[in-house]
Amino acid sequence: MVEDIENDVRRYTGREELPPPEEGTITIEQRESIGFGLIARAMFKMYPVRTVLGLVLMASQAFLYNAIFFTAGLVLGSFFGVPSGSVPYYLVFFALGNLLGPILLGRLFDRVGRRSMISGCYATAGVLMALSGYLFVEDLISPATQTALWAIMFFFASAAASAAYLTVSEVFPMEIRAMAIALFYAIGTALGGITGPIIFGQLIGTGERGSLFGGYLVAAGLMVVAAVVELIIGVRAERRSLESIAAPLTAIQEEAGAGA
């Protein structure tokens, strides 16, 4: 498998010889399982700042996604008079925006960099959310225009959310990468994904555009806050090995034991 990858790189770059691999070794202790106590220690003791980063990124995108996506049909029907049977046609454009975002922007997260791309996508999604909310409360847009703005917003939000999922896996020791995604997804969904639809459902129930606009501003503000947090404490993980970003748990434990 490695030989096939190296041959592909040679063909792609036109180089006959590849540079030698980085020097250095690591020790990995083979275990049948990793307990939750060790996972909690890695998250809250070893990497507390990265834990805050992951929670902010996951919760903010979950709030935006679930608040908008799961109430879009209610908004289109209650405020624009779109028949319920026609709502799925509008949602198709949401799906297209979600699909095209990661496909077209994904490679830039490695080429341009994690910090700038993640913060840029979060901020852009937040600004578009606020803009669409303003046009909505002023009754300046049609359901088609509203859907188009949401689709463009999700184009960036989808790429941002995808990067958030990968961030929480690559910034923690590789033994707990899968569990990190699971934990942050569960916590982030609980914080943002559950509260979002409940809050927006209540706001839609008032029948007032101004109340719903306030909810849109909250969602936009959370995305902008996440963008700022990423700029400040984001990890530059592009083009780096996982071991250099976060040492394996065994290596961390050996250092801790030596220090004690």
pLDDT confidence of residue 232: 95
Nearest CA to 157 among 67, 52, 90? 67
pLDDT mean values, one per 10 residues, the chain (260 residues): 92 87 74 76 89 93 85 89 91 91 93 93 96 93 92 94 88 85 86 82 87 92 96 91 83 46
User: Which CATH number is associated with domain 61-76+83-237+247-259?
Assistant: 1.20.1250.20
pLDDT confidence of residue 144: 92
Non-local CB neighbours of 63 within 8 Å, separated by 6+ positions: 191, 192, 193, 195, 196, 218, 219, 222
Q: Please check whether residue 124 is in contact with residue 156, taking contact to mean a CB–CB distance below 8 angstroms.
A: yes
φ, ψ at 244 (rounded to 5°): -80, -20
pLDDT confidence of residue 256: 44
pLDDT confidence of residue 252: 52
Q: Model-level pTM? A: 0.84
pLDDT confidence of residue 213: 92
pLDDT confidence of residue 255: 46
Classify the C-alpha dihedral 134-140-143-144 as positive or negative.
Answer: negative
pLDDT confidence of residue 48: 93
- State the CB neighbour count (10 A cutoff) for residue 8: 10
Q: Please check whether residue 81 is in contact with residue 233, taking contact to mean a CB–CB distance below 8 angstroms.
A: no
